[in-house]
Amino acid sequence: MTNSWEDSKNTFAKGNAGMFYLGNWVIPQFEERGAKSEGIGFMPIPGDDSGVLKAQMNHDWGYAISKFSKNKENALAYLKFLLEKSDFDKIAGFIPTLVKKEPAVPQLNEYLGYKPEIITTPVNSTKFIEVINRSKIDFYSGGYIQGVMTASDFDEALKKLDARWNRARGGK
């Protein structure tokens, strides 16, 4: 078990890994490493026992215009071009920002054809981010998951995470 992103793309492209739980942006990256598009699937999964397929939609905070910018109109024009007219969504493997625009990545059309229930990830509160930082649990890289999954005592590993979280929030 590893958390080496670059190696994992090669592993998948060579056929040495069968499945990853990742976002749609990974599809072009697998193709860049040699995987054939027709050999890559992308599917929603049941999130509970209801049998309903679900899709998690995360926010991407990669673009913003600073309120201090002296060129807000130019910045807005650039963002408008990037999101509405460029092929950035195709290159990056994203679902287009515009509802009327069809996804260029074929796997996304299939994925959306399942009509999954979309679950939008809530914006993290300032308090949550502060607790994450104090706990020093690496939520965003997933190392904590690897630590739990490879621990010799699964239950003890969870207890240690809980203790770190509780201390960070000011609990016991």
Query: Considering the entire predicted model, what is its pTM?
Result: 0.70
Average pLDDT over residues 71-86: 93
pLDDT of residue 120: 85
Q: Are strands 53-57 and 45-46 parallel, antiparallel or unpaired?
A: antiparallel
pLDDT in tens, 108-127: 888 888 999 988 888 888 99
Q: Where are the alpha helices (DSSP H) in the chain?
A: 5-13, 26-32, 72-84, 88-92, 106-113, 126-135, 143-150, 154-168
Average pLDDT over residues 19-45: 90
pLDDT of residue 133: 93
pLDDT in tens, 2-24: 667 888 899 999 999 888 888 88
- Cβ atoms of residues 42 and 27 within 8 Å: yes
